[in-house]
Structure 1
């Protein structure tokens, strides 16, 4: 699945089948469902989920907490637009 195909599913009522927890969290985040996305990724100890977790905290304006999750993900703190990073994360996870 490409990033554009993934993004196009955001208008559907349900996420695509078979998504990893990180992608499922990102899907909910893309729909503005912050709490659902956060609940999904906070229960996953992997680096991919930590990357999405960082994005979520950056989205809410909690840069200190975002920094913690970027470190857990092994990623540099992102300073560009949120929508650009969302796409970058999607590309990385769909890889």
Structure 2
């Protein structure tokens, strides 16, 4: 997958591409409306990239305290953009 357009087109499929990183896999499931499966991809991982996705997911869930904890684990602060904007930024970052 080369760009965000290809990623978004893949959302029309029933299953994700096999070459997605764990971070993109979580974002794919989230974009498909499956927050629980998205969360299961990263909730047991300790790397900064996964913490960043974890933070976004908890922000989306509305659990801001938990989200801020994970943003800090990722070495970042909660962005002051929409959730859709954050999703697009994360997809681009991890492609």
Give your verdict on TM over 0.5.
Answer: yes
Shift of 1:49: 1.0
- Aligned pair count reads 94
Equivalent runs, 1:7-18 vs 2, <5 Å = 7-18=8-19
CA distance in 2, matches of 1:85, 1:23: 13
Shift of 1:63: 0.5
Superposition TM-score, scaled by structure 1 size: 0.93
Relative to total residues, which structure has the larger helix share, 1 or 2? 1
CA distance in 1, matches of 2:74, 2:24: 14
CA distance in 2, matches of 1:44, 1:8: 27
Equivalent runs, 1:67-82 vs 2, <5 Å = 67-82=68-83
* CA RMSD after TM alignment: 0.9
CA distance in 2, matches of 1:46, 1:72: 9
Superposition TM-score, scaled by structure 2 size: 0.93
The residue that corresponds to 1:37 in the other structure is 38
Structure 1 stretches of 4+ with a deviation exceeding 2 A read: none
SS in 2 for 1:11: coil
Structure 1, unaligned runs of 5 or more: none
Contact in 2 for aligned 1:47/1:73 (Cα 8 Å): yes
